[in-house]
Structure 1
Amino acid sequence: MFNKIIKRGHRKPSKADAIDSGLYGYGPAGNRNSGMVSTSNVVVNHASRTAPALSVVNSAPQPGGAVIDPTALPSGNIDPLPPFRDVAVSDRQLLFLRKLQICCFQFDFTDTLKSVREKEIKRQTLLELIDFIQSGSGKITENNQEEMIKMISVNIFRCFPPAPHENSGSEMLEIEEEPYAEPAWPHLHLVYELLLRYVVSSDTDTKIAKRYIDHSFVLKLLDLFDADDPREREYLKTILHRIYGKFMVHRPFIRKAINNIFYRFIYETERHSGIGELLEILGSIINGFALPMKEEHKLFLVRALIPLHKPKALALYHQQLSYCITQFVEKDYKLADTVIRGLLKYWPITNCTKELLFLGELEEVLEATQSAEFQRCMVPLFRQIGRCLNSSHSQENNCL
C-alpha cells in the first residue's frame, strides 16, 4: 500500500527500487562508522518527476561526517512525500526515513530565486518530521535515530568564514545595530527545532541516543556557538542545556569542553561570539552544584571564570559572568576571598568603563561575603578603592 502511494501509479521497477531494502533498513543494521549506505549518500533521479528514485553517488565528505552531492539537486526535481497520516502505521518508519533523505539536500540560500520549489518541499518536510516527533505518534527506530542525527549534522555543522577582526578583541566592543542574519535560517532553525524535540522527547531513550549524540557531536555543537547569528546561538544554548540535563554521562565532558573554549578565548584569540550564551548555561549548572563543592568546580572558578575578566571584550558578557561568580560565593561563602582577590588581580588600570563593571560586580560579591572572609582581603580591597577615589576619572567621568 505504501509503495503505491509514493509511486503514484504503476511503473516498471528500476534498479534504484532494487536497492531500497538496503537503503531503508530492511537489511542488517550497521555501525555508524561502517561502510553501510545511509540516506545522506543518495540523490534524486533527475529523469523522473514522480516520487524520487534513489541512486548512490560518490562525493566529498561533509563536516557532519555524511556524504552528499550538494550540486545534484538544484538542477533536478523532487516531489513531496505523502503525510504520515496518509500511510499505514506499519509504513511510517520507512516514510520517516525517506523524508530524512529529502532533508539532506542543501541549497544556496544567498539566492532567494534559486530552487524555490525544492526549498519549500524541504521546509514542509522538516515541519512534518518535527510534528511526528512532537506528537509522539510512535517511537523512532534506532536506525532512524542514527540517520536523523546524520541528517541534522549535514545541515548544521559547517565552517564559518574567518572574522574580519580576528584576534582583535577590542573591535568586539563595537556592537552592531543590526545583528548578522544567517541566510539559511528559514530552514536551519527547523533543523535545530527537530534536534531539540528529539532531545526533550519522553520517547527518546538516552541509552540509545547517546550512541549518536556522542562526544564528537557535542564538540561540533559547541563549535557552532561562534556563529554570528544570535538566533542560532540561542537555539544552541537551549539544546546544549537540555543535553546536559538529560545525558548525565556527558556532563563532565561538556564542562571540560567549555573550559577549553574559555582558555582559547582568554589566552589566544580574545574573539568568540558565544561566550555570553555559554556562561548562561553555566549559570544554571553552578546553581545546581551540590555541597560541599567539588575541587573540580573550585578550580574552574579560579582557572576559567575569574580570568574571563581579563579580555577587552568583557562588556559583551559581563552580566552573565557576574551572575556565575556571585553564584559561587552564594553557594560557598568561603570562596569570597578568592573571588575578591581575583577581581583585584585583573582590575583595569586605564579603562574607566571596564572599571565600572568591576565595581558593580564587587558590590554584589560583598553582599554575599561573611565577616571573616572580608577581613582576609579588606586591606588590598581598600587600597584599590582608594586608588579609584584618587583617580582623575573619578569625578570627570563619574566613575564613582
Structure 2
Amino acid sequence: MTTLDLTRRNPDAAPTAAEAAQAAAPAAPSLVGLTRAGLSAALASVGVPERQLKMRAAQLNHWLHNRGASDFGAMTNVSKDLRGALAQAFTLARPEIVSEQISVDGTRKWLLRMPSTGRHDRGAEIETVYIPEEGRGTLCVSSQVGCTLTCSFCHTGTQRMVRNLTAAEIVAQVVVARDRLGDWSGGAAPEGASVPTDGGRFVTNIVFMGMGEPLYALDEVRDAIEVIADGEGLGIGRRRITVSTSGVVPQMRRLGEETGAQLAISLHAVRDDLRDVLVPINKKHPIAELMEACRTYPGASNARRITFEYVMLKGINDSPAEARELVRLLAGLPAKINLIPFNPWPGSPYECSDWDTIERFSEIVFRAGYASPVRTPRGRDIYAACGQLKSETKRMRAKERMALEAAE
C-alpha cells in the first residue's frame, strides 16, 4: 500500500489566521462540473449575449470536460476578452486531494476536500475510488457527505449525514480521477499524474456506489449524469453508468425515466426480518415493494439487466435455503447477482462467509439461470472495498471555530 499526502500540512490541524480569513471569504465559484445550462448562466453573468450562449457553453463544456482544461488560457478558440472576463469571475478549481492511497492491486482511493462555502466550513470531505480491471476502469463516486442510512454491515453507515453533494461536486470526482490518471482527450498527462502502464486503466465506467444513498440526492445525481454522459464532454455512455440504491422505492421510476442509468439494488437479504437489520430502509419499503419497483423499472430488459448486490455474511445470510429464496424472489426479472465477500472494517460486527459457502451459494443461483459472479475484493488494504468507505470529515473543534470567528 502506498499513501501520498497531497496537502501542505496536517489536514486535521487548526487553521492559521491567514487560512481562517481565506476560508471565511467567499471564493470565486468553479465552472468544473456544471451542466450546459449552468455554463450558459455563468456566461450570461459576464455579459455574453443570449444569441451566443449555446455556442459558448458548448465550447466551455468541451474544454472543461473533454480536454480537462485547468487554465482559461488553454481555451484557444475562446476570445481573449471572454477568457479574461471568465477568469475574473470564476475558477477552474477542482476539489483538493487530501490524500491518495494506492492498493497492492492497483486500486486508488482519494480523500477529496470540497471548496469551503465560507463561514465555519473548511470544506466537506468525501472518498472516491478507482478500480482498474482488464480492458476497463471503474470509478466509484460518492453522492453524499456521510450517509442517511445506517446499514449495519457498511462503514459509511456509521458516519453522520452532513449534506448532499452538488452535481458539480459529483462530476468533479471524475475530473480529479482523469487528472491523476492522465486520462484526457488529446492531451499529455499533467505533471504528477499517476499514469497507468498497461494502456487500459482509464475511467470507462461510473458506479454510484460510494458514500451516500444516491436516490436521496436524485436531482443532483440526475444533473451529474447529464454532464458525465455528454458525448462532447466526459463522454461516458449511460449504459456504463450504474446507480445503486438500498431501496428508496418512491424515486426508482424517476431514476430510470430521467437518467437512463443502469440500476443496482443493494439487497443482501431475502427475508424482511433480516433485511430490517442489515438495510433498515427495508422497514419503510419491504422486499415485496422493492421487487415490484424493480419489475416496473423503465428500460429494464435482458440487454439491460438489474444488478442485485448481495454481501456474504458468515452464518447470517449465506445458507443454501437463502440462495434458493433469492432465486424465487427474482423469478421473471432481467437480473444478475453480484455476490460480494464481506469486507471487514474496524469494529464491524460481521465476518465474511467461507469460500466454500460462497461457491455453493453461487452455484445454486447459477443453475437457476442467473449470472452470479463473485466480486473479487479490491483495495481492502486501503479500506477502498465495497462497504469500507468513510471520510475523515468531523465536526470542527472549538478552537477551529474560534480561529475562524477571530478572523472574521
TM-score where L is the length of structure 1: 0.31
Q: Which has the larger radius of gyration?
A: 1
Higher relative contact order (CA 8 A, sep 6+): 2
Larger relative helix fraction = 1
Larger relative strand fraction = 2
TM-score where L is the length of structure 2: 0.31
